[in-house]
Structure 1
Amino acid sequence: MKPWVQNPARQGLAYEDIVLIHPDGLRLHGWWLPAQTEQVAGTVYFLHGNAQNISTHLMNVAWLPAQGYQVFLIDYRGYGLSEGKAKLPDTLDDIQLGLDWLQASGRVQGPLVVFGQSLGASMTIPVLAREQNAGRFDCAMFEAGFTGFRHITRDVMQRSWLLWPFSFVVAPMVTTRWDPVDHIAALAPAPVLILHSREDSIIPFAEGERLYAAAAEPKEFQGLLGAHIVASQDPSVRQRLVQFMTQRCDAQSASAAD
């Protein structure tokens, strides 16, 4: 979706527009949300799901500044104010560009936490697994991710009576090169938290279980309830995320510093 629904100011948040220039010339847009506390607890790099844009997905991280976390969230090409057309593998490079900017900006304070939801989770995993990104983040949280692009394409198409006949032609054409299930183990030794709702009607709960099984230690799994990627609206789930960040991510950051 291109139009915005809101900006962070409508949620009472201070923010800064960030424009990144991709090597191919495209302009990618994001928001920087500063922490609302005197001491910064950490930095969260947020990658959103398939639908809409950062103006709607903002609500999944709007609570973090009050907890002491500064947040950077971007729109992939074709979303919101970001130019271009969304397609693989170019969107993976958009995620990489955001990570590179964070590292070069000097803004990272505390542990760097990468938080991806749904498509954002599944695209981010192979990016973080790149050799060049080893040691560049302290931990990762993935909610409602899927295991493979071909697999999820077939699954979604076969749920529709209109698309079902085409699934046998389209799905085999989808590459498996960036399937997160094949890359997630490479994120170690950074701690990983996998979250997935048992009631998710978009990405089946079993997908989260398979991702967790493929991940290497240290790892944690958190089952959730409710619809697709709405769990972070629940105060108890927010507490669980903060717990992971303060315990696992802080420890990893301190270990890396040593």
Structure 2
Amino acid sequence: MASLLPLMRGVLLAGALLASGCSSLLFYPMSPWVQNPARQGLDYQDVVLIHADGLRLHSWWLPAATDEVAGTVLFLHGNAQNISTHLMGVAWMPAAGYEVLLLDYRGYGLSEGRPRLPDVLDDIQLALDWLQSRRRSDAPLVVFGQSLGAAMGSAVLARPDNRDKYDCVMLEGGFANYQDISRDIMSKSWLLRPFGPFVRAGLPRDLQPEQQVGALAPTPLLILHSLDDSIVPFAHGERLAAAAGEGSEFQRLRGEHISAGRDPAVQARLATFMQGACRH
């Protein structure tokens, strides 16, 4: 019986993926925090964004630690945990003059609801609209998405009504295609591999990141991807770069998945891009 447990777990997981519309493959939310910005010596405020239907989303606002604000950053984290575990990716930005909004999608951290596509795109839209309504006229608005946040952010930013709401985009560790990344992930497990075609059939086909990034042109776009990425293969970054249009740049990195914000050299690269390309 014990030898059957791994197989049973695999079958149950696959069944859960199918029953949930495959959202479980994309979203791995965590409620408890592991830290808050104060533990990193950062000033912050809790911001609650409220959808028209009453759904409440929690976020952190990090004010710039400089007299002059260089810009505003909307940070869209990856698919696992919550903003407390992704904080270090942007913790350096306030000292560089940037104010940052870290959004927890529905079901993550203190945010209400259950994450699933396309509903989570409405959370990103709400955050973008909130920032647009309070933005400084002389400070650019930058959208920085990592992994799944890069994929979902691209879909929202590509909407025609949003074209004037942001000034530049940075996408790190993003994938090019929902079906392809699910194949990459599920092929690592012989238990899940047989269920791959069913899962891929339930994933969105009209929100493919490699179809969205081209629509961002001519907005300045920086795509970053690590050659060492063990979660999203480097080929996905190359595909996004190939699909991106005028005004795009591609930066090859070293190191693990979405670890750019922890590397001072990459921080300098991001700051250079925001200072040079992101003009409002």
Smaller-chain TM-score bracket: over 0.9
Aligned partner of 2:212 in structure 1 is 183
Matching residue of 2:147: 118
SS in 2 for 1:4: coil
**Corresponding residue number in structure 1 for 2:171:** 142
SS of match in other structure, 1:183: helix
Please give the alpha-carbon distance, in whole angstroms, between the structure 1 residues aligned to 2:76 and 2:138.
Answer: 19
Q: Determine if the alignment matches structure 1 residue 27 to structure 2 residue 56.
A: yes
How far apart in 1 are the matches of 2:138 and 2:83?
A: 23
Are positions 1:234 and 2:245 aligned together? no
Tell me how far apart the structure 1 counterparts of residues 245 and 85 of structure 2 sit (CA, whole Å). 32
Map of 1:93 onto structure 2: 122
* Per-residue deviation, 1:223: 0.2
SS of residue matched to 1:127: helix
- Superposition TM-score, scaled by structure 2 size: 0.88
Q: CA deviation at 1:173?
A: 2.3
Amino acid at match of 2:71: G
The alpha-carbon deviation at position 53 of structure 1 amounts to 0.2
Shift in Å at residue 104 of structure 1? 1.5
- Percent identity over the alignment is 63
1:256 corresponds in structure 2 to none
Number of the residue aligned with 2:35: 6
Whether 1:199 and 2:199 are equivalent positions in the alignment is no
Q: Using the alignment, how far apart are the partners of 2:101 and 2:204 within structure 1?
A: 29
TM-score by length of 1: 0.95
Aligned to 1:208: 237
CA gap 1:106/1:246 in 2 versus in 1, 3 angstroms: closer
Query: Cα offset for 1:106?
Result: 4.0
Tell me the distance in 2 between the aligned counterparts of 1:109 and 1:146: 33
**1:235 partner amino acid:** P
Higher Rg = 2
Tell me how far 1:231 sits from its aligned partner: 2.0
Which of 163-172 and 60-69 deviates more? Answer: 163-172
Describe the superposition over 1:200-237 as per-residue Cα deviations: whole angstroms up to 9, x where unpaired: 00000000010011011111010000111112211100
Read off the aligned partner of 2:141 and give its amino acid letter.
Answer: L
Q: Distance in 2 between matches of 1:39 and 1:66?
A: 11
Alignment of 1:218 onto 2:216: no
Uncovered stretches (5+) of structure 2, i.e. residues with no partner:
1-29
Gaps of 5+ in 1: 254-258
Alignment deviations for residues 48-82 of structure 1 (CA, whole Å, 9 cap, x no partner): 00111000101100000000000011100000000
One of 132, 143, 148 as aligned partner of 1:103: 132
Instruction: Give the deviation of 1:107 after TM superposition.
Output: 5.3
Moved more, 173-182 or 239-248: 173-182
Structure 1 CA distance for aligned equivalents of residues 164 and 136 of structure 2: 17
| Cα distance in 2 between the residues matched to 1:14 and 1:173 | 42
1:168 — aligned with what? 197
Deviation at 1:44? 0.6
Match of 2:80 among 45, 48, 51: 51
Single out whichever of 125-134 and 160-169 deviates more from structure 2. Answer: 160-169
Partner residue, 2:15? none
1:150-198, Cα deviation, whole Å (9 max, x unpaired): 2211221111111111102221221211111111111112100000000
SS across alignment from 1:242: helix
Q: Which residue of 2 aligns with 1:15?
A: 44
